[in-house]
Amino acid sequence: MKQQLTAKIEKIMKSNIGSEGFLSFENFLWGCSKIYSVGIKFRNLLYKCRLIKQKKLPCFVISIGNITVGGTGKTPMTMYVAKIIKNLGYKPVIITRGYQGTYKDAQSIVSDGSNFFLDAREAGDEACMMAVSLKIPVIVGKNRYQAGMLAIKEFNPDVIILDDAFQHIALKRDLNLLLCDFTKPFGNFHLIPRGRLREPQAALQRSDAVILTRSDKSDKPDQVIESELFKTKQVFNASHSAFVADLINCQPSFDSTDLKINAFLFSGIADNADFRSTCENMGMKIKGCAEFPDHYWYTKENLIEIYEKYKESGADFLCTTQKDYIKIKELLPDFLSLIRLIVIGVKIKFKPEHKDKFENLITTKFNVYLKTK
């Protein structure tokens, strides 16, 4: 029942205004979004008038977030920025909420860059994935200031990167990066729960720069992107670039650049259809799919069912996402020994003319900060 209700709400959030009656569930959600809008505007006003003051960490802080719910590429962008900072010779630490993680302390260290103190269940799938991939300290905590102070105490970082923190305005940031999906930057223009907007569109003005992800999905700019909201900002175009992150029980000579294979997919991400499209674009022939909600925690029964469907489909390989793999690899080792599994990751790729400009933005902002310390 709960899953059916969630699925219905998600469908409405992605849809435009329909012809439902006045007492429809859709209009009920619309009413809830209006109440939510009042609360958000009031909170933002309190900070704008400084009736509630922002806290400041004693280091350079970069925030990465979005204005809609769903996958715009925040985690790949966080990883991209962390690599830039690391390549410049500075020490970054990532702070993330650790969505759906079971960690008990208010703030917890996932990894110090070498050692792991929380697993995927405790830290959350995305936090654990970043720690495994980047080999830099990652901390989880709902209060970003307190988590930041823990980072200062334990790691003395030069830069703290806040993952998914555009709405966390309680903490001051030195560079505020906002990600928007190029194809639908504001969803259906409604606030949650009627739509996908976390805040009114005007909140975009808090950003220092806007990164339009999935900009390769259209040949011409959306009319919304040409609006006044975007004209006052530095705008960068980027896309999601898929790559083979891991191969399980596959031959070392396996050609990962042209995946002309029969595959059965399973995923639990914000847009499972997008994952299927990605695999098709990589050359795969899809023999079947098992789709789950975002951040889904697989059970042993789920994996048995996936395995049975995989065998029935006649596929040669199973294929999943990096975020899903991080959750299953310790759940059922026997499952992994029975299959040939391809793990697909996603990284941010800027348009050539925007890549250097974006990295220069980060470098310039950081150098200005260093001069004013």
Amino acid residing at 147 = A
Dist. CA 277–CA 47, nearest whole Å: 42
List the alpha helices (DSSP H) in 225-350.
228-231, 272-281, 300-313, 322-328, 333-338
Alpha-carbon Rg for the chain in angstroms: 21
Q: What is the dihedral of CA 315, 283, 340, 246, to 10 degrees?
A: -160
Q: Give per-10-residue mean pLDDT for the chain (373 aa).
A: 69 70 80 94 92 95 94 93 95 94 92 95 94 96 96 97 95 96 88 93 93 79 64 89 89 70 94 92 95 89 92 95 89 76 94 94 94 81
User: What are the DSSP calls for 8-59, one per residue?
Assistant: HHHHHHTS------TTSHHHHHHHHHHHHHHHHHHHHHHHHTTSSPPB--SS
In the chain, domain spans: 60-239+350-372, 250-339
Retrieve residue 181's tokens: 């999906």
**Residue 28 CA to chain centroid, in angstroms?**
29
| pTM of the predicted model as reported, rounded to 2 decimal places | 0.91
Fold agreement (60-239+350-372, 250-339): yes
Phi first, then psi: give them for residue 6, nearest 5 degrees. -60, -45
Tell the burial category of 4 from Cβ atoms under 10 Å away from its Cβ (0-12, 13-18, 19+): exposed
State the CATH class of domain 60-239+350-372.
alpha beta
Phi/psi-derived region of residue 134, left when phi > 0, alpha when psi is between -120 and 50, beta in every other case: alpha
User: What are the DSSP calls for 180-218, one per residue?
Assistant: EESS-TTTTS-BTTTSSBSS-GGGGGG-SEEEEETGGG-
- Of 317, 312, 321, the residue nearest 291 (C-alpha): 321
Dist. CA 267–CA 136, nearest whole Å: 26
Q: How many CA atoms lie within 13 A of 98 on its CB side?
A: 29
CATH topology of domain 250-339: Rossmann fold (3.40.50)
Q: What is the DSSP letter of 257?
A: S
- Tell me the three state secondary structure of residue 286: strand
